[in-house]
Chain A
Amino acid sequence: MSVKTLEIDGKMVTGMAGETIFSVAWEHGIHIPRLCHIGGISDVGACRLCMVEVEGQRKLQAACLTQIEEGMVVRTDTPRLKAHRKLIVELLMAERNHICAVCVANGACELQELARSMGIDHVRLRYRFPVFPVDTSNERFGMDHNRCVLCTRCVRVCDEVEGAHTWDVFGRGAGSRIISDLGEPWGASESCTGCGKCVQVCPTGALFDKGKTVAEMRKDRGFLKYIVTAREKKQWIG
């Protein structure tokens, strides 16, 4: 495999052919914001937070889906990109009902952390206040659609790692919703193995462990490291 050299935010970095801008940047301490990407499962380029400028390209590129090339010059943090990211997070905040003060994931939520890091103290858009259900039919876990950002991490981890494909997306546009099986309550799902991987990868408090109260939910993603190492190094170690 060949090594490629490129420039990210003025820093000369190297990566392997086939690696994405996103992962090479992170390896070199340049943390591009993201929501739909999580190491260990496939990328879909849905959140658009990782958009970067690549010299010579007219359009912005999603770093999580763009492979590095020799001599590439990438900028990840220009004022234009910052403005876009801020607006994307505000759009998410206004889209559903993200009330941190009463959320199990308060303090451990990736959406909250994104907003905090961008200095978002108010939202310039009108809140939509949609009415979405909460599914508590599963014995051990809950699903609060009001906190879902539709990143589809749960869908992918369940399909690609657990192999159950319990989750999928129903509907379209702003009415899209994550469903289990063919729309049955999670508790009635025949495909769900109860492994809880979806809960662990969910960036917000949408998927949570039952019995946890405000700000108690912490997510454990250690299992994904096994997957990545196993895939890349063919060894089952963490």
Chain B
Amino acid sequence: MTVEDLLEKQTEETERQAALENRILCCTAAGCVSCGADGIRGAIAGEIKAQGREGKVEVCGTGCMGLCSQGPLVLSAADRKLYGNVTAADAAALVSPNPIDRQALAPREIDLGAPFFIKQTKIVLANSGRVDPERLDDYIAAGGYQALAKALNEMTPKETVEAVRKSGLRGRGGAGYPTGLKWELVAKQAAPVKYVVCNADEGDPGAFMDRSVLEGDPHRVLEGMAIAGYAVGAQQGYIYVRGEYGLAIQRLQTAIKQAEREHLLGSRILEQGFQFRIDLRIGAGAFVCGEETALIASIEGKRGQPRQRPPYPPESGLWGAPTLINNVETFANIPAIVEKGAEWFSAIGTANSKGTKVFALAGKIVNTGLIEVPMGATLREILFEIGGGIPSGKFKAAQTGGPSGGCIPEQFLDVPVDYESLARIGSIMGSGGLIVMDETSCMVDVARFFMEFCMEESCGKCIPCRTGTVQMYDILRRMTTGEADEDDLAMLKGLSELLRETSLCGLGQTAPNPVVSTLKYFAGEYEAHIRDHRCPAGHCGLEAKEATR
């Protein structure tokens, strides 16, 4: 495919879609599938046949539409109407050309003008829920691969790196390292072989941002990686995706095959003399394999264990070659940056945090699901406007950053969500998990939960993390059962400092974060557990245990 072919294909597919009376898009991401989306899609296809509407109405599956709590979701493209809690029985009305039939759907309609939708800014998720992730033509119709064409045609590799640097994009995998600087480090290495690696290990409990992007818009990630390959001088890319993500793996495989067939990946990309292959590597479900040096070891076929940095991967990564590692969401931002320019991107967000961030809203919140907001939005906006508030009415804390993050209490609801502000209040941006807690959540138990996770996921290489997490977990567990004392609390603090300062990798270094932040903002709860054997949230059931003692 040449650049002309690409544009032609876009026109062709756009016209084809416009000629249809309607396209019915069914969300077939994990959330909606778990409540029957596949059956609904089948029923709609059946109705299209039954009503003789082939060629006029088309049904296709899409990635996550965001409002998971109201799934299964179906979007009627022609009149831009979104329906929630759809059942197979609604299929006939959805397909019918008769407006009266469609009236029956009114109770299912979701207001697209609601804050949940209009308060979001979509870059990474722009196509998610809009395109069929299994059809390359859908992505091309949405302008896909034109950023790659632009980079190859109009920009030198150096200019491409410069555009990313100027955009202010920072890594979305957790640490927030400036992406442009990382690209520059790899680009300036004079090595014959370099690699681009996409980190799709997504191991935080409850996180599904990267998974949604891969399932909903896989070509965007491939395009971002190809642009990266061109910019830093690599011809081979790997996507390290966790084995549990079966659908994402399947969609990626399909997408890679499609793109290679059309010379959008592989050899002679867009007939421009640039080649870039992408292969998948499947992880075996260890959280620590998301850490970049462990990930590299794992791709090399070794035990997935971190090693000391430096050297950092841009100098010595995969098989010792300069290696660029970025997160899925980071790569997914690239096509838009190249296409619309660094200035456009850097106009979104705050002074030091540009663009948007995808969050997986979970816990005690009305609208659970997947959202994308501009950096700098406040927690209050995210939780109470987009999220629709707390069902029980009483907010207690928001947890960001998963096992490496912290709990944010009510007094910080108006802090803008960006890298620096979150760090200042003892949490981190993290990869995008956002768990909301109300009065019934016990903060000691929350800390215990995350410590248990770190203990189970510690690779065991370094002593502070391997056995420090065991001791910390034991202390926290005994707190929740009313068996801990003041000495334990002091030891918990001592261990927190030890792990932070001496652990080899980020897992151990950040494992104490949930403990430290809950100790800071909810010290009273710890004291109640220790001194009075009482759980203020009524979660740990300590009073009952006391009574039977």
User: How does the 8 Å CB contact mask read for A37-51 relative to B, with 1 for contact and 0 for none?
Assistant: 000000011111001
Question: Are B501 and A46 in contact, CB atoms less than 8 angstroms apart?
Answer: no
Of B17-25, B59-67, B462-470, the one touching chain A: B462-470
Residue B43 interfacial (CB < 8 Å): no
Using known A-B contacts A60-B502, A88-B502, determine if residue A126 contacts B474 with beta carbons closer than 8 Å: yes
Q: Mark B472-503, 1 if CB is under 8 A from A, else 0.
A: 00100000000000010001001101100111
B460 close to A (CB within 8 Å): yes
The yes or no answer to B458 lying at the interface (CB within 8 A) is yes
Q: Report the minimal beta-carbon distance from A130 to chain B, rounded to whole angstroms.
A: 10
Chain B's nearest CB lies how many Å from the CB of A49?
Answer: 8
Within the complex, the shortest CB–CB distance from B513 to chain A, in Å, comes to 15
CB <8 Å contact, A46 and B457:
no
Interface size bracket, A side: 20 to 34
Interface residue SS majority, chain B:
helix
Interface: B263 (CB within 8 A):
no
Q: A62-B308, A91-B464 are contacts. A172–B458 as well, Cβ < 8 Å? A: yes
A11 CB, nearest partner CB in chain B, Å? 24
Give chain A residues whose Cβ lies under 8 Å from the Cβ of B466. Answer: 95, 150, 173-174, 176
CB neighbours (8 Å) of A12 from chain B are none
| Contact assessment for B463 and A92 in the assembled complex, using a CB-CB cutoff below 8 Å | yes
**Chain A: which residue is nearest B478 at the CB level?**
A126
Smallest Cβ-Cβ distance to A88: which chain B residue: B463
Contact residues in A for B502 (Cβ distance below 8 Å): 48, 51, 60, 84, 88
Whether a CB of chain B sits under 8 angstroms from the CB of A124 is: yes
A72 within 8 A of B: no
Q: Any chain A CB within 8 A of the CB of B76?
A: no
Docked complex Cα distance between A175 and B503 (Å)? 18
Is there an interface contact between A47 and B459, defined as CB atoms closer than 8 Å? no
| A73 interfacial by beta-carbon distance below 8 Å | no
Query: Given A88-B463, A172-B459, A128–B470 Cβ distance below 8 Å?
Result: yes
Provide the residues of chain A in CB contact with B497, threshold 8 Å. 84
> Contact: A45 with B464, CB < 8 Å?
no
> Is B461 interfacial (CB-CB < 8 Å)?
yes
Q: Is the CB of B467 within 8 A of A87?
A: no
Q: What is the distance, in angstroms, from B470's C-beta to the closest C-beta of chain A?
A: 5
Q: What are 8 sample pairs from A and B whose C-beta atoms fall under 8 A apart?
A: A46-B463, A65-B308, A84-B501, A87-B498, A95-B466, A95-B467, A169-B303, A173-B460
Further 5 A-B residue pairs, CB within 8 A, beyond A48-B463, A84-B497, A176-B466: A168-B303, A172-B457, A173-B470, A175-B460, A176-B460
Write the residues of chain A forming the contact surface with B, with a CB cutoff of 8 angstroms: 44-48, 51, 59-60, 62, 65, 80, 83-84, 87-88, 91-92, 94-95, 124-126, 128, 149-150, 168-169, 171-176
| Closest A-B pairs by Cβ, 8 of them | A176-B460, A173-B458, A48-B502, A95-B467, A45-B308, A91-B467, A65-B308, A173-B460
